[in-house]
Amino acid sequence: MEIIIGSIPPLNTANQKPASTPSAMVEGRLLNVRPPRKGVAGPSGAERRERKTKDPAKGRVLTLMVMDADTLPKDIDKANYRVTMRFHRL
């Protein structure tokens, strides 16, 4: 006889992937590279953007596409993450 207290994790089916950890490698494609934003002043000379943020002068803005969103952490839009990138030429 086997007594189980609590619950067992659900079995993964063939079409489901196991949950990823935040430190897992995530593959993506680089879609666009653009220079940093400059100030956006309106007719009165005041900044039109709501947040007073500036991109670094030597920065570049990258647009990335992740092939499989299931590999991203579930709380990506609610938590702070440090992202490291490694580039491989195709």
pLDDT tens-digit series, residues 41-60? 666 666 666 666 677 778 88
Q: What is the pLDDT of residues 56-73, one digit of tens each?
A: 778 888 899 988 888 888
In the chain, the number of structural domains is: 1
Query: Which structural domain, as residue segments, surrounds residue 90?
Result: 23-37+55-90
Answer whether residue 80 is part of any domain.
yes
Q: Using an 8 Å Cβ cutoff, are 85 and 40 in contact?
A: no
Inside any domain, residue 33: yes
- Is the pLDDT score of 24 beyond 60? yes
**Is residue 48 one of the residues assigned to a domain?**
no
Q: Is residue 15 part of a domain?
A: no
Q: Is 49 within a domain?
A: no
In a domain, 84, yes or no: yes
Distance CA 54, CA 37 (A): 7
Question: Is 86 part of a structural domain of the chain?
Answer: yes
Strand-pair category, 28-34 with 61-66:
antiparallel
